[in-house]
Structure 1
Amino acid sequence: MIFAIEEINNSSELLPGIKLGYQIHDSCIAVPVAAHVAFQLSNGQDPMFYQGSNCSQSGVVIAAVGDSGSTPSISISRIFRSFSIPLVSPFATCACLSDKQQHPTFFRTIPSDQFQADGLAKLVKHFGWTWIGAVRSDSDYGNYGMASFLDAALREGICVEYSEPFYRTDPPSKIKRVADMIRRSTATVVVAFAASGDMKVLLEELARDPPPPRQWIGSEGWVTDPHLMSFTFCSGAIGVAIQKAVIPGLRDFLLDLSPIEVAVSSVLTEFWEDAFNCSLTESEKDADLNKRECDGTEDIKRLENPYTETSQLRATNMVYKAVYAIAHAIHNAVCEKTNSTIHCDKNISLEPKQVFSELKKVNFSRNGYHVSFDAKGDPMAFYELVNWQKSESGVIELVTVGYYDASLPTGEQFRINGNLTWLDGGTQVPVSVCSESCPPGTRKVLQKGKPICCYDCISCPEGEISNNTDSPDCFLCHEEFWPNAKKDKCVLKPVEFLSFDEVLGIILVVFSVSGACLAVTAAAIFFHHRTTPMVRANNSELSFLLLFSLTLCFLCSLTFIGAPSEWSCMLRHTAFGITFVLCISCVLGKTIVVLMAFKATLPGSNVMKWFGPLQQRMTVVCLALIQVIICTIWLVVSPPFPMKNLTTYKEKIILECALGSAVGFWAVLGYIGLLAVFCFVLAFLARKLPDNFNEAKLITFSMLIFCAVWITFIPAYVSSPGKFTVAVEIFAILASSFGLILCIFAPKCFIILFQPEKNTKKYLMNKN
């Protein structure tokens, strides 16, 4: 501050011809002391303070620089606002001071903690930390700053395990409790919004026992303090810091001290004696006999301590800018520029209110740094991102690794352009989460009574997927898609139908072809032995027609195998219905012939003339024609059609033939069943007719098998899923067809081939 004022007083451009006077008071970071000084400055100074006639005699302070603490600044600001005295703070960052209703005359050259809190929250989010601990100074700086940070963290989806306040004057037991909380916590990252003096007390307590490995995130209040860098367990700490600055001439000014100048000031005397461990005054020498007397050989230029370190000027530059801001406000109030000459009115009675008004409008640059205030009295927010890195010698150094510029658009404000080291000097970003991320295929389920960052990962339900990490919900696949094994992607459902390539299809094809071959073989045997009594006695014409229809029955089962198409769906059901009716019609005709033949043997009966070959053919044709009509109506009104069955199995698509009209399907089956039952009844009535080879018995057995198969088919067909519905239908066709051919034709073929002695008219007519 003194350096800046002397620069201004020696300037020919800023307040030329006018000297600024000043007083420096120590508030001791105590509200009572700060309030006392504020009242003293507001009430005016004792006239005896002024020496000579060069100073204004108003006695009223027109502006003040300070305080560095937020809490004292709040008290001073509330006192000054009644007198419109502007207060420009270089280091009070509490966001509460931006409230112009409460603090209308407050300005500052350091950004508000609101920006710092936002920057810290974005920093935490940037590295993927969602589970953190938080400690803060139990002061306006810490409490308001942490409140702003917690709000920003909530917006970023960050959860806070604990938030503990402490103060340097707290009892050791309370400091220990906060330290134990940090040790016990599961959060690896700790955000500390604290003043340097408070952090020193906490870190000392943590250092007593083996300190826990924690990644510290620091506010500007402590993260640049070189005294705290002796705590090596904080290596890797990251934080936001006030922009580093260079103030030309300051180092020379600080080093331009002689023992004579030092002896005049009690403050400089204390500093000198402490830095060189010598005594300038007799009282100090008498108090400490071990101290030598300062002999004038002490060279401050050789001194290496924070006083002479001017390469890391941060808060210092804020003081420098605050003084210049006030000087520019005074300049604008009392000076005018005419042509190229600046004229300042030295006799004007300057009021604090005028300086206050001009401070709102200041806009200048100094040493490359811009100074202006917004409507809240805050400057443009710009922070450096700093990292505590261990050098090769093991000493912690402060390294700038990026910046946070609140004036840039969202998404561009935060930049890291340097290599960072982490806790314990590691190069890998530490992990600090309450729960590990839920991978795709799972969803987050919050743990009861815990923050939103604590959750369990639950696998997606059947038929649902999640394709994002930490997905809160799973969503259904489209009806023709199904989740893959990981449930992170929907894939096309496999299409299933009874194909010629699978084992079941091959088995059914073999049986179908075998049955057709069996029918053709029987027909060949009958044709070869067509003149024999066995063939002639069994109505050879109907037998050949029956064998032909059985061949079609066996072969029509092949239409049920393979991918359904529009034509195959219509063909399979109609071919099946018509061929089976043709088959049953032939059996029915043979049964009627047997009955009529024995009726014809009765005296006076000529019934066979009503059931000759022509009538038999007409009966078969008429019965089959009825089924053809039923099938035609079915195909015209609502034919079967191929469809994708998505309901039987959720994980696959069944290609099948929809019935179209269920009435048509059951009408076809019902008609077949009606003929079969009628045939069975007639054959059953004729089963005991006297004959060495009674065909009615064979037809009875065949119809019994036929009816049994189709009665059991109905519940099996209704309850079978997917392609097994088709398999059941094929099985019923094959089983009933095999029943007919084996019961009716196998015994005859056996006699024809292996017992030719029985293939005689005498044997057939023998009633014994």
Structure 2
Amino acid sequence: VFHYHVLLGCLLRAWTQCTGPASEFHLEGDYLIGGLFDIHYASAPGYHYRPEAINCSSQQFVLPNYRRFQLMRFSVEEINNSTDLLPDVSLGYEIFDYCSDAQNLPSILKLISVNGLIQAWNEPDKQQAQKTNGSKVIAIVGPYTSSQAMTAAPLFMLDLIPTVSYGSTSSVFSEKVKFPGFLRTVHPNKDTLEVICNILLHFNWRWVAFLNSDDDYGIDGLDLFIEMIKDRDICLAYTKSLNDNSNYSQIFRQIEAQKINVIIAFIPRLTAEALIESAIRLNVTNKVWIADNGWSLHKKLPKKEGIKTIGTVLGVSQPVVTIPGFSDFVYSSTSHSHCEKDGQQKFCNQVCNCGSWSPESILSVDPSFSFSVYSAVYAIAHALHKVLQCGAGRCNRNITVFPRMVLAELKKSNFTLLNQSIQFDENGDPQFGQYSIAFWNASGDAQEVGFYNLYPSLNYFLNDSEIKWHGNGKVPTSLCSPECRAGFAKKRDGIHKCCFTCELCPNDTYVNATEDPYKCNVCKKTEWSAEGSTSCNLRVVEYMPFTSPIAILIMIGAVALEILTLAISVLFSINYNTPIVRSAGGPMCFLILGCLSLSSLSVFFFFGKPTPPFCILRLLPFILFYTVCVACFVVRSFQIVCIFKMAAKFPNLYSWWTKYHGQWLVITGAFVMQAVLLLIGYSQETPKPYDETLWSPDKIILTCDTNLKGTAGSVILLSSLCCLCFIFSYMGKDLPKNYNEAKAITFCLLLLIVTWMVFATVYILYHDMFIQILNSLAVLFSLYYFLMWYFLPKCYIIIFQPQKNTPQYFQGLIQNYTKTISQ
């Protein structure tokens, strides 16, 4: 409170020295509305050791602001002439030229004083003074800029004097804790920047410069813009706060060095004039300029010489609203100016010195914020209308009106003005209006090419075809790095997310440019993708079903083998004591045929959807029982060699072999050893179903996991027996023709070796569903070789050549062979 009185006292002298005629600034009425309009502009002052006031009339005149000043006067007079709004109450105004946010304190103090005095809240006669001799000012319209509002609004908040600004857009005024009585009829910065961001995204401009004014308005805009683009594909490549001392030459050099083609100028009108004039003078070309509310509808800049060389100018502005009757008021007001006729002395900064401006000049300037001023005055009038309980052509004059009562009704505003529903949200921000998107065309006019509706619902439209771009007529680009082609992921290059290199996504990965363009996502196991994909495709699940024609044929072959082994077993049983059966192995033949039959069971488990039991039984019966078969043939080959070649040379060995039944010991040992190896191998790693995806990228081949470690010992044992069998059988290849099983065994083994070598080669080179077919065929052929080349020839002799199946015939063959080798 003490500082308040000191400040007021320091300014009293300035009040008395700064006077002049000012009838345009004052109108008597039952209730007064304060007005703050920066009709003149004073540059930012230097530092002072004591408060100083300023004479605004000596500063630079700003015609668009004078137009808004006239619009407030018109609005009040229009309300006074209305029979519906405040019917028997007259409104007045007390307007000040608010040209400086730091040196216009006398104007603010005048509006909040009572008879030239300001009393502290703790003085006992404060409330009584308000009731008897209180100020008639019930609300304030203005000020225009955010910096001005930051100075003035806190003083008005002390008495909860409602302040309805028509141009202050800084986001801080939405904080009701700090500014409980502040409302505005212009949208806050965040809405303007939202429109700008939509324009950037619409044209795919990702690499931009942001030039802001070095004040509350510009700094707030920069902070909001940085926050907005965090989750969007927009990068702030360069930013600079502009003031009266800015080095535009250096600024444009830095913008050009970073190859920025889009410049957002979030600055007031006068700063914009300095910026654009510097761009023309410095020969800045082929840029896209995005103007904000403050200068997008500028009337002189679009017609300035050389403006076309700087590029294309787009702007975000309030729609131009025609105020009925305002033109007539301006003509009438200027032709009957009271400025020079009224000789009474008024308060400082209520002097215009504007008599030289014609009505045409006033009406032709930038009409921005016209509806904001108009709706601000009407909102206050409607609030007062509610406070005074006006109706039926009269108001209740017995009600003592306090500013806080008007504020309460202002917050609940809900009326229609020029087809717009005027309302405020809980932050005092407008819930009405829209934005226009303007383009400075070749005629030097701001042509509307789109709109952005905020209320009652969000609606955005931009007509690209109406914009005539500079250069080749195509939409300019502004990118740090060109967009990656489809299927390429971005890899950040530097601190900006818009600067990147492109990397091709490999097979079985994809890039989703919408969700995360910087990552190659791995496809699911059931999906696949080619190199450079943007999505995954479902893999085709394949396996060899039982109903497949090939599977049916193979299973028929296995069944036929079972039938043949049974038939041969019956035939050999009937002819068991004949020389053919005895020479083929006698009882060992039945073991071989039985094992061949059991081995064929493996064939059936190569078909159908793989399951753990199926995977185990695919090779287990074949390896186990085929080992017994091969062991039997090893013994047979060894016996043939011993009988005809080794009996004479090694009689003791032959005697031991026959005495202890060596052939059965070998077969049993091979069986037991193979069973143990399979048990150990399958215990360590049991075969299980496996989804093969490596060899066929677009398929899932349902197969069984090849257990190389588990079956290695078993395969080695079986391979060793085959090698022994081949050696022994090859040694007996020159035995008697009709008694020579060795040749048949040798031929079977050759076919067996070739078959499995072919299968192994194909398996290494080719993994597909049909590899299971080849595997089953290899198993089946391995069984058929012995059946066809060892047993069927003997069956043929038994059935069709019985004369060769006699003891005399075989003895003759042996005697002839003995004579041959003895010679």
TM-score (norm 2): 0.63
Given the superposition, is the C-alpha separation of residues 381 and 220 from structure 1 closer, same or farther in structure 2, using an over 3 Å criterion?
Answer: farther
CA contact (8 A) 1:132 1:191 kept: yes
In structure 1, what is the equivalent of residue 636 of structure 2?
A: 586
Q: What's the offset of the Cα at 1:342?
A: 1.4
The partner residue of 1:473 within 494, 519, 538 is 519
SS of 1:207's partner is helix
Question: Does residue 451 of structure 1 match 2:487?
Answer: no
CA contact (8 A) 1:115 1:381 kept: no
Task: Write the distance in 2 (CA, Å) between the matches of 1:328 and 1:390.
Answer: 40
Q: What's the offset of the Cα at 1:195?
A: 0.7
Aligned pairs for 1:716-755 within 5 A: none
CA contact (8 A) 2:487 2:511 kept: yes
CA contact (8 A) 2:314 2:438 kept: yes
The partner residue of 2:271 within 178, 186, 198 is 198
Q: What's the offset of the Cα at 1:220?
A: 0.9
Aligned pairs for 1:331-370 within 5 A: 331-334=385-388, 336-337=390-391, 340-345=392-397, 350-370=401-421
Q: What's the offset of the Cα at 1:203?
A: 1.0
In structure 1, what is the equivalent of residue 197 of structure 2?
A: 121
SS of 1:342's partner is coil
Given the superposition, is the C-alpha separation of residues 233 and 379 from structure 1 closer, same or farther in structure 2, using an over 3 Å criterion?
Answer: farther
CA contact (8 A) 1:385 1:402 kept: yes
In structure 1, what is the equivalent of residue 249 of structure 2?
A: 176
Q: What letter matches 2:641 in structure 1?
A: T
Q: What's the offset of the Cα at 1:560?
A: 9.7
Q: What's the offset of the Cα at 1:676?
A: 5.5
Given the superposition, is the C-alpha separation of residues 259 and 120 from structure 1 closer, same or farther in structure 2, using an over 3 Å criterion?
Answer: closer
SS of 1:376's partner is coil
The partner residue of 2:101 within 31, 53, 57 is 31
The partner residue of 1:405 within 416, 440, 454 is 454
Task: Write the distance in 2 (CA, Å) between the matches of 1:105 and 1:664.
Answer: 87
CA contact (8 A) 1:238 1:388 kept: yes
CA contact (8 A) 1:85 1:353 kept: yes
CA contact (8 A) 1:654 1:722 kept: no
Q: What letter matches 1:325 in structure 2?
A: A
Task: Write the distance in 2 (CA, Å) between the matches of 1:669 and 1:32.
Answer: 99
Task: Write the distance in 1 (CA, Å) between the matches of 2:658 and 2:437.
Answer: 116
The partner residue of 1:228 within 296, 301, 310 is 301
Moved more, 216-225 or 325-334: 325-334
Q: What letter matches 1:170 in structure 2?
A: N
The partner residue of 1:187 within 256, 260, 263 is 260
Given the superposition, is the C-alpha separation of residues 398 and 763 from structure 1 closer, same or farther in structure 2, using an over 3 Å criterion?
Answer: same
Task: Write the distance in 1 (CA, Å) between the matches of 2:180 and 2:642.
Answer: 119
**1:545-590 CA-partner distances (Å, limit 9, x unpaired):** 99xx99x99xx99x99998677985786578546544543332121
Given the superposition, is the C-alpha separation of residues 561 and 389 from structure 1 closer, same or farther in structure 2, using an over 3 Å criterion?
Answer: farther
In structure 2, what is the equivalent of residue 505 of structure 1?
A: none
Task: Write the distance in 2 (CA, Å) between the matches of 1:363 and 1:254.
Answer: 29
SS of 2:453's partner is strand
Q: What letter matches 2:94 in structure 1?
A: Q
In structure 2, what is the equivalent of residue 500 of structure 1?
A: none
Q: What's the offset of the Cα at 1:199?
A: 1.0
Given the superposition, is the C-alpha separation of residues 118 and 274 from structure 1 closer, same or farther in structure 2, using an over 3 Å criterion?
Answer: closer
Aligned pairs for 1:1-400 within 5 A: 1-28=72-99, 30-44=100-114, 61-167=137-243, 169-171=244-246, 174-230=247-303, 231-233=307-309, 236-256=312-332, 261=337, 264=340, 273=356, 275=358, 303=360, 305=361, 307-309=362-364, 313-334=367-388, 336-337=390-391, 340-345=392-397, 350-391=401-442, 394-400=443-449
In structure 2, what is the equivalent of residue 529 of structure 1?
A: none
Q: What letter matches 1:128 in structure 2?
A: N
Task: Write the distance in 2 (CA, Å) between the matches of 1:405 and 1:674.
Answer: 88
In structure 2, what is the equivalent of residue 745 of structure 1?
A: none
Q: What letter matches 1:670 in structure 2?
A: L
SS of 2:103's partner is helix
CA contact (8 A) 2:334 2:355 kept: no
CA contact (8 A) 2:83 2:393 kept: no
CA contact (8 A) 1:188 1:215 kept: yes
Task: Write the distance in 2 (CA, Å) between the matches of 1:625 and 1:419.
Answer: 91
In structure 2, what is the equivalent of residue 421 of structure 1?
A: 467
Q: What is the aligned length?
A: 645
Q: What letter matches 1:27 in structure 2?
A: Y
CA contact (8 A) 1:484 1:491 kept: no
**1:667-723 CA-partner distances (Å, limit 9, x unpaired):** 576267358649968999x99x9x999x99x99x989x99xx89x99xx99x96766
Q: What letter matches 2:502 in structure 1?
A: C
Given the superposition, is the C-alpha separation of residues 31 and 562 from structure 1 closer, same or farther in structure 2, using an over 3 Å criterion?
Answer: same
Given the superposition, is the C-alpha separation of residues 204 and 594 from structure 1 closer, same or farther in structure 2, using an over 3 Å criterion?
Answer: same
Q: What's the offset of the Cα at 1:454?
A: 2.7
Task: Write the distance in 1 (CA, Å) between the matches of 2:139 and 2:368.
Answer: 23
CA contact (8 A) 2:291 2:316 kept: yes
SS of 1:484's partner is coil
In structure 1, what is the equivalent of residue 800 of structure 2?
A: none
Given the superposition, is the C-alpha separation of residues 184 and 480 from structure 1 closer, same or farther in structure 2, using an over 3 Å criterion?
Answer: same
SS of 2:363's partner is coil
Task: Write the distance in 2 (CA, Å) between the matches of 1:21 and 1:381.
Answer: 27
Task: Write the distance in 1 (CA, Å) between the matches of 2:470 and 2:694.
Answer: 60
Task: Write the distance in 2 (CA, Å) between the matches of 1:493 and 1:73.
Answer: 68
SS of 2:517's partner is coil
SS of 2:94's partner is coil
CA contact (8 A) 2:507 2:530 kept: no
Given the superposition, is the C-alpha separation of residues 672 and 221 from structure 1 closer, same or farther in structure 2, using an over 3 Å criterion?
Answer: closer
CA contact (8 A) 2:140 2:164 kept: yes
Given the superposition, is the C-alpha separation of residues 630 and 443 from structure 1 closer, same or farther in structure 2, using an over 3 Å criterion?
Answer: same
Q: What's the offset of the Cα at 1:429?
A: 4.1
SS of 1:398's partner is strand
Share of identical aligned residues, percent?
A: 22
Q: What's the offset of the Cα at 1:235?
A: 5.9
* 5+ residue gaps, structure 2: 1-71, 118-131, 343-349, 545-578, 609-613, 790-813
Moved more, 61-70 or 438-447: 438-447
* 5+ residue gaps, structure 1: 48-55, 276-299, 498-535, 742-758
TM-score (norm 1): 0.67
**1:354-397 CA-partner distances (Å, limit 9, x unpaired):** 44444334432222233333333322153223221425xx4343
Q: What's the offset of the Cα at 1:656?
A: 6.5
Q: What letter matches 1:12 in structure 2?
A: T
Q: What's the offset of the Cα at 1:144?
A: 1.2
Task: Write the distance in 1 (CA, Å) between the matches of 2:629 and 2:460.
Answer: 82
Given the superposition, is the C-alpha separation of residues 374 and 542 from structure 1 closer, same or farther in structure 2, using an over 3 Å criterion?
Answer: closer
Task: Write the distance in 1 (CA, Å) between the matches of 2:618 and 2:89.
Answer: 109
Q: What's the offset of the Cα at 1:450?
A: 0.8
Q: What's the offset of the Cα at 1:664?
A: 7.8
Task: Write the distance in 2 (CA, Å) between the matches of 1:601 and 1:644.
Answer: 55
SS of 2:519's partner is coil
Task: Write the distance in 2 (CA, Å) between the matches of 1:245 and 1:562.
Answer: 84
Aligned Cα root-mean-square deviation (Å): 5.9
Task: Write the distance in 2 (CA, Å) between the matches of 1:672 and 1:257.
Answer: 117
SS of 2:281's partner is coil
**1:388-415 CA-partner distances (Å, limit 9, x unpaired):** 1425xx434321512230553xxx4434
CA contact (8 A) 1:466 1:489 kept: no
**1:407-463 CA-partner distances (Å, limit 9, x unpaired):** 53xxx443446744164187654433333444453433333x412333333333554
CA contact (8 A) 2:539 2:700 kept: no
Task: Write the distance in 2 (CA, Å) between the matches of 1:464 and 1:601.
Answer: 73
Given the superposition, is the C-alpha separation of residues 646 and 316 from structure 1 closer, same or farther in structure 2, using an over 3 Å criterion?
Answer: same
CA contact (8 A) 1:484 1:490 kept: no
Task: Write the distance in 1 (CA, Å) between the matches of 2:308 and 2:146.
Answer: 29
